[in-house]
Amino acid sequence: MLSRKIRTTFSGLFIVCLLLIAVVFGLMFGYRVVLKQKTRYDYMEQIAKQQDFIQDQVDTQFAKELADKKREAKGEHKLSEAELAKLEENKLKAYKEKLKAWKKEKKIPLSYAVPIKGEEGLKPVFIDFGDASKQIAAKLESQGLIKSKTVFQVLSKLNGFDGNYQYGTHYLRPNMGYDELMFTLTLKPDRVLVVIPEGSTYIDIKNILRKSGISFNEAKMDKLMNSPEKFEHFDFLDGIKRTPGRNFLLDGYLFPDSYYFDCNASEISILSTLLNNTHYKLLDQYYERANTLNMTMDQVIILASIIQKESSVSQEMYKVSRVFSNRLAKGIALESCATINYLRQQERLEPVFLVKDNDLNRESAYNTYKNPGLTPGPICNPGAEAISAALYPDTSAESRNYLYFCAAGKTGRNVFANTLQEHQANIEKYLEPLNGN
């Protein structure tokens, strides 16, 4: 019979062996977990890269289609908001189809795929610039995406995700694990396409932003629109004059184009993006040309905004510019119907095709029938062609003495005249039939 001392020794050895076996199995299990986690990260990174690759392919195709359509139009008509929206719809459809085909080919399970905006059941989480894992964990917990803030913070630290989270709006699945949530939050956040047509006003742009799903504080943005000093790095804003009737000082400088914004982008970042585009569109030679014409850039933008609203035909804008240039040189009132419709829009009235006497008699510095010279500020945000036209009026012999133009019925084009007699004949031919005369 074994002595108590021997039994105790064997018992100790047995416990040590059990502990060693447990440690070995623990290490093996831990290694398998880490290896599986690394494989999952690698897999998700591969998926994310492929999604970006497909997105780039589709974006390139979209840009090509847009350029082709503009060439087909031969510069006569700008693409409408509906046409741009249709192109974007086709783009999104192509993206989803390509991604679906790739997933099917690679046999990717949904739980391993990076979330894509548009999937059912996704929850939006907005990460502010500078948010640490503590703030992020609180946001995830409030959305029901995690059960423990502490676990998230510890795992974020251990896995090396701290400091790598991308600020912006991320769309997450409720069934994602902690590591999948962390990885997804390090990816580029989702963006919303916003298409701003040429000739849009600031009021129009706010409505477009809302319809696109952008969340912003209207009062804060309105205040920024009257605070050009907040954007002092843009030299072209230096010449803006604070004149009566100019409701938003930056209106006219929000360049119409296609943009991608975070749906929770700050007001100042939205305006900075639009102004930055304007900065690049106003070429150095434009400033030189403005000096030659003895105009400030603000005057150029004001004139361009009126031209933009008077014609949607690119080549025709230069003839409209010639009419206005000649009138300004002679001290004759511009008599632009577009400025009357601008006043109507300020009162939330619909624009009219034929301006009546009650509108012509409006008391406002923006009424170019009663006041010679330019309006106090732009009446819209002009595109590149209208700005170019304002600086380079048509120089053909035919247009040299143009002083009048009117709509050629409802064709979308204008007819021009040198004399009042010719202009009245054009009105009788094209406009009076529309007035029931």
pLDDT digits (tens, 9 = 90+) for 163-190: 889 888 888 888 888 888 888 888 888 7
When pLDDT is averaged across residues 210-224 and rounded to a whole number, the result is 93
The residue ranking higher by pLDDT, 45 or 306, is: 306
CA–CA separation, 318 vs 307, rounded Å? 9
The mean pLDDT value of the chain amounts to 85
Which residues fall within 8 angstroms of residue 125, CB to CB, at 6 or more apart?
139, 140, 143, 145, 169, 170, 171, 172, 185
CB 207 within 8 A of CB 185: no
pLDDT interval class at 358 (50, 70, 90): confident
pLDDT interval class at 57 (50, 70, 90): confident
CA–CA separation, 388 vs 373, rounded Å? 19
Poorest-pLDDT segment among 53-57, 207-211, 222-226, 315-319: 53-57
pLDDT for residue 27 is more than 70: no
Of 185, 140, 135, nearest to 159 (Cα)? 185
The region, left, alpha or beta by phi > 0 then psi within -120 to 50, assigned to residue 118 is: left
Can you give the pLDDT at residue 203? 94
User: Which two three-digit tokens encode residue 246?
Assistant: 């100019």
Q: What is the 3-state secondary structure (H, E, C) of the chain?
A: CCCHHHHHHHHHHHHHHHHHHHHHHHHHHHHHHHHHHHHHHHHHHHHHHHHHHHHHHHHHHHHHHHHHHHHHCCCCCCCCHHHHHHHHHHHHHHHHHHHHHHHHHHCCCHHHCCCCECECCCEEEEECCCCCHHHHHHHHHHCCCCCCHHHHHHHHHHCCCCCCCCCEEEEECCCCCHHHHHHHCCCCCCCEEEECCCCCCHHHHHHHHHHCCCCCCHHHHHHHHCCHHHHCCCHHHCCCCCCCCCCCCCCCCCCCCEEEECCCCCHHHHHHHHHHHHHHHCCHHHHHHHHHCCCCHHHHHHHHHHHHHHCCCHHHHHHHHHHHHHHHHHCCCCCCHHHHHHHHHHCCCCCCCCCCHHHHCCCCCCCCCCCCCCCCCCCCCCCHHHHHHHHCCCCCCCCCCCCEEEECCCCCCEEEECCHHHHHHHHHHHCHHHHCC
Of 184, 60, 194, 195, nearest to 114 (Cα)? 184
Q: Among 50-54, 97-101, 127-131, 366-370, which range has the highest average pLDDT?
A: 366-370
When pLDDT is averaged across residues 350-375 and rounded to a whole number, the result is 89
Contacts 24+ apart (CB under 8 A), 8-14: none
Can you give the pLDDT at residue 404? 94
pLDDT for residue 437 is more than 60: no
The residue ranking higher by pLDDT, 212 or 286, is: 286
CA–CA separation, 413 vs 312, rounded Å? 8
pLDDT interval class at 425 (50, 70, 90): very high
pLDDT for residue 70 is more than 70: no
CA–CA separation, 401 vs 246, rounded Å? 32
Query: Length of the chain, please?
Result: 437
Can you give the pLDDT at residue 63? 67
Percent of the chain with pLDDT over 90: 47
Can you give the pLDDT at residue 191? 82
pLDDT interval class at 110 (50, 70, 90): low
Can you give the pLDDT at residue 26? 60
Residue type, 375: T
Poorest-pLDDT segment among 87-96, 259-268, 393-402: 87-96
* Residue 317 CA to its chain's centroid (Å): 26
Of 118, 115, 166, 168, nearest to 145 (Cα)? 115
Q: What backbone phi and psi angles, to 5 degrees, belong to 169?
A: -95, 125
Q: What are the tens digits of pLDDT across the range 87-96? A: 767 777 777 7
What end-to-end distance do the CA atoms of the chain give, in Å?
129
Can you give the pLDDT at residue 118? 65
pLDDT for residue 403 is more than 80: yes
Of 216, 309, 211, 308, nearest to 271 (Cα)? 216
CA–CA separation, 104 vs 108, rounded Å? 7
CA dihedral (323, 326, 330, 331) positive or negative: positive
CA–CA separation, 333 vs 426, rounded Å? 20
pLDDT for residue 78 is more than 60: no
pLDDT interval class at 137 (50, 70, 90): very high
pLDDT for residue 99 is more than 60: yes
Can you give the pLDDT at residue 33? 52
